[in-house]
Structure 1
């Protein structure tokens, strides 16, 4: 970086209301500088034009600040910051600078820097930041992402809402499907087997009752009715046995958790059928009451008790499995519910965060642009330059800021031109007044000369008349020859007098023309004076127009130095 030395501690304060403006080409060469910038820098205008703008760069400014400025400008965005500039005498001044690209036909052709008074608090903050930059400890200021805009926000918001709806639908449909599976599992794996086990227990009880009926029938019924009752009881036992086998078939799709209990029940029922019911049926068929009694006591009842115990164990196991499945389902549903609540909370947090970012990066800059445009429409160009925002609102905010700065510069140039016109018109009016006064004096002198010339012409005419009378007398026959010479001289005098009279008349005519020209010139001068007064009045109106948009700046000569 160029080191502009020497430097001193002399501080120039830029008062509020002063606007320092300079323009450069794409390489940073100064092409324009207003009067306030010239006065603040201490350079002459000719010393600034055609020179690089770093002629006013102060050595205390870190390179990182200007790197950030050029990076921002080359991206097509305005840049704003507190800048310390160096004066020609080595002093310095602080300004709040805003640099914007100058575009023509959407092409950047240069840059314009508009600087104004920097508050003391902003200067202190800038000094701290620049010291950190020089020490390499500065942290980049957080910026909103450039993609955050109205279009991207709408797309991202729509996509996020669609994802939320899909996630909610997936959770809802998945939860319903899991609930359906849990109910199906509960029915087919626990409830239906428990029902079948209950029926098996009922059939076992019915078989016991039937066998008890067979025992009673053997003791109480007459022989004529015994065979018919026994046949009916045997038919019931077979029916119960077939139902038990059918119910065992319903236990085929049970969970692996109760396989052992199922095997025990199956084995107990098989023994009950093969070792209990079949021998009883055979004993009844052979009409052996003693063997029937013995089989019922010694085999059927113990085997039935064993089958009942196995059925109870299987039912308890199925109940425990159902309870475990129920608790697992509740736990899974709780996890789903927790996940759904966490997703809802996360979604709300994302919506709030993105909404805050959207309001901060899009809505607030958009409202700031609207307020700035309203102030500009009301004639206020002194508002703070806000370059915040991203996306479309940021572009609008930047465009409004650039327009405000361009209008301020245009008004500054108009005010400068109006002051020059006013000054030149005042000088011209003084000159025209002097010309008018001189014309009046010359007019009076010319007319005085014309009056004198007219008197001389009158005298010459009298002399010519006397000469003509002498010529008449000389032309008469004279008795004395000496009168001939007198007649010749009279004739010569008359001719000369006549020529003098003619010359005097021509001179008088020329003097009249000169007088008329003086009168015309005086009228032209008066008209020029009136035109100058109107132009001066126009310059005053331009100044009033400038004052409408911004208060009249303090004269640059009033900038104090300490």
Structure 2
């Protein structure tokens, strides 16, 4: 970075209302500097023009500040900061600087810096910031994201609301589907198998009752006779066969419960199969061979124990299904509770996001938009001295930046108009004094010329009188000459008459020339008077321009 040395401790204060303006090309070479900048910097204008603007850079300014400035300008945005500049004699001055791109046909053609009085509080804060920058401990303030604008905000807000609606709908529909599935499993996988097991237990109980009836009938049939005993046995065996078939049918319906209680289901199936194959089937075969004793033996020794084992397996399976149903119920309640908590969390998250984005939207868009509106209202009221605010992002930030740039351009134009008006007023005053002196001198010359003309008129009159006398002498000389007397006197008289006549003609020409000079003097005096009137009109116009400038710069008027 360029080091402008030497430096001194002499500070130049920028009075409030004074604006330092300079313009540069794209490379930073100065192309314009107003009188206030020239005066404060101490450099003559010819030393500033075509020089890089860092000619006034102070060594105390950290490079990071200018890096931030140029990066901001390269994005086409204005930059504002408190800057310490160096005077030609080594002194310094603080300014509140705002640098904006200068555009033509939407193309940046240069940059304009508008600087004004910096408050002591702003200078103190800037000094602390620059010390932190030099030490590398400064933290950049977070800027609103560039995408946060009205269009993108509406787009993102719509997408977020749509996402919340879809997520809420999916969560609600998914929760209902999970609840339906849970109820379906609870009914088909637990309740129906429990009812089926109850039916199996009922059939086993009926089979046990039938087998007890067979034993009772066996004991009673020994007294009633062989035929009646066989008839009762056939009827009871038919009941056992019907119960066996129904048990097998009910066993097939328990397939849905096999996934949750596999072991209990396997034990019940084995027990029922053994009960059917090792118990009921031999009983049926013995009954078919008309062997009541064998039937009684099988019932007491084999069928009843197998029935008891099958009943125990059915009870175990039923208890397992009840436990599984209770576990499914608790899992469903826990899942629903998780869904409920997730939904509440999603709602709270959505509200937090909406509140955060709303705050960012208000801070980054609405507040800068209101600031732009207030600034434009102040500009419409003729106030160009308001605070320059470069906050905001998106469309409102662009509007705020454009309003700031317009305010600065208008301020510079007003300053240039004020300078031109002051110069016109000064030149008109000088010109009016000169024209007044010319007019006074013309009056004096006019009087002198007319006095000379009057003298010439008197001389011409006298010369004409002499010419007439010379004519009379010439006539007398002719009479003398005709008589032959005084030829010498005649010749001299003729020469005198001729000279007198020539003198009269010359005096008349001089008098005519003097009259023309007098007329020109009168005409020039009239032109001078008209020029004086035009100068007075121009002076009045400059005064009106000054009044117009004072309307846009009430702060200067108050200070003066």
Instruction: With the length of structure 1 as denominator, give the TM-score of the two structures.
Output: 0.90
Contact 1:210 1:237 in 2 (8 A): yes
TM superposition shift of 1:536: 0.9
Separation in 1, partners of 2:424, 2:555: 17
Aligned match of 1:138: 138
Task: Kindly indicate whether the alpha-carbon contact (under 8 Å) linking 2:73 and 2:100 is maintained by their aligned counterparts in 1.
Answer: yes
Q: Give unmatched runs, 5+ long, in structure 2.
A: none
Q: For residue 117 of structure 1, what is the aligned residue in structure 2? A: 117
SS at match of 1:338: helix
Report whether the alignment pairs 1:195 with 2:195. Answer: yes
Contact 2:363-2:392 within 8 A present in 1 as well: yes
Q: What residue number does 2:382 align with?
A: 379
Bigger shift: residues 207-216 or 171-180: 207-216
1:280, distance to aligned residue in structure 2 (A) = 5.2
- Report the CA distance shift for 1:113/1:144 in structure 2 as closer, same or farther (over 3 A): same
Who is 1:464 aligned against?
467
**Which segment drifts farther, 60-69 or 522-531?**
60-69
Between 274-283 and 487-496, report the one with greater CA deviation.
274-283
Q: Secondary structure at 1:327's aligned position in 2? A: helix
Instruction: Measure, in 1, the Cα distance between the counterparts of 2:481 and 2:409.
Output: 104
Once structures 1 and 2 are overlaid, which stretch shifts more, 322-331 or 473-482?
A: 473-482
**Which position in structure 2 is the counterpart of 1:500?**
503
* Partner in structure 1 of residue 545 of structure 2: 542
SS at match of 1:88: coil
Q: Which residue does the alignment assign to 2:332?
A: 329
- Aligned residues of 2:422 and 2:542 also touching (Cα < 8 A): yes
- Following the alignment from structure 1 to structure 2, what is the Cα–Cα distance between the partners of residues 217 and 379? 124
Whole-angstrom CA distance in 2 between matches of 1:345 and 1:255: 43
Query: Conserved in 2, the CA contact under 8 Å of 1:11 and 1:93?
Result: yes
Q: 1:28 to 1:285 in 2, by over 3 A?
A: closer
Matched, 1:270 2:273: yes
Alignment length (residue pairs): 557
Say if 1:181 and 1:52 are closer, same or farther in 2 by CA, change over 3 A.
same
Contact in 1 for aligned 2:481/2:490 (Cα 8 Å): no
Deviation readout 1:366-416 (Å, 9 max, x if unpaired): 332333233223322112111222233323322222221111111111111
Greater alpha carbon shift after TM alignment, 122-131 vs 169-178? 169-178
Question: What TM-score, normalized by structure 2, do the two folds share?
Answer: 0.90
Q: 2:523 aligns with which of 511, 514, 520?
A: 520
1:308 matched to which residue of 2? Answer: 311
Aligned to 1:104: 104
Contact 2:230 2:292 (C-alpha < 8 Å) held by counterparts = no
Shift of 1:466: 2.1
Shift in alpha-carbon separation, 1:536–1:479, aligned structure 2, 3 A = closer
Structure 1 222/382 Cα, relative in aligned 2: closer, same or farther at 3 Å?
A: farther
The alpha-carbon deviation at position 314 of structure 1 amounts to 1.3
Residues 451-474 of structure 1, C-alpha deviations (whole Å, 9 max, x = no match)? 111112222222222222223333
Q: Which of 522, 527, 536 is 1:533 aligned to?
A: 536
In structure 1, what is the equivalent of residue 413 of structure 2? 410
Distance in 1 separating the partners of 2:280 and 2:67: 103
* TM-aligned CA distance change 1:257 to 1:552, over 3 Å: closer
Q: 1:291-306 residue pairs with structure 2 within 5 A?
A: 300-306=303-309
Distance 1:387 1:75 in 2: 14
- C-alpha change, 1:411 and 1:433, in structure 2 (3 Å) is same
Cα distance in 2 for partners of 1:455, 1:231 equals 188
| 1:139-178 correspondence to structure 2 within 5 Å | 139-178=139-178
| SS at structure 1 position matched to 2:388 | coil
Separation in 2, partners of 1:77, 1:433? 54
What is the alpha-carbon distance in structure 2 between the residues aligned to residue 67 and residue 246 of structure 1? 89
* Separation in 2, partners of 1:62, 1:333: 61
C-alpha contact (below 8 Å) 2:149/2:395 kept by paired residues: yes
Matches within 5 A, 1:231-270: 232-270=235-273
String of CA shifts for 1:480-501, please: whole Å, max 9, x gaps: 8554444443333332222222
Question: CA contact under 8 A between 2:7 and 2:86: conserved in structure 1?
Answer: yes
Alignment-derived partner of residue 66 in structure 1: 66
Would you say 1:126 and 2:114 are equivalent positions?
A: no
**Structure 2 contact 77–101 (Cα < 8 Å) conserved:** yes
Q: For residue 98 of structure 2, give the secondary structure of its aligned residue in structure 1.
A: strand
8 Å Cα contact 2:33/2:45 also seen in 1: yes
- Larger mean Cα displacement after TM superposition, 448-457 or 384-393: 384-393
Question: Equivalent residue of 1:200, what SS?
Answer: helix
SS of alignment partner, residue 379 of structure 1: coil
Q: Find 1:551's aligned residue among 538, 541, 554.
A: 554
Q: 1:471 to 1:93 in 2, by over 3 A?
A: same
CA distance in 2, matches of 1:322, 1:552: 86
Task: Quote the offset at 1:193 in angstroms.
Answer: 0.8
Please give the alpha-carbon distance, in whole angstroms, between the structure 2 residues aligned to 1:79 and 1:118.
16
Alpha-carbon contact 1:18-1:554 (below 8 Å) kept: no
Cα RMSD (Å) of the superposition?
Answer: 3.0
Displacement of 1:245: 0.8
Change (3 A) 1:277 1:555: closer
* Residue 430 of structure 1: how far off its partner (Å): 0.5
Are the equivalent residues in 1 in contact too, given 2:550–2:557 (CA < 8 A)? Answer: no
Partner SS for 1:476: helix
Structure 1: give runs of 5+ residues left out of the alignment: none
**Quick check: 1:15–1:554 contact (8 Å CA) kept in 2?**
no
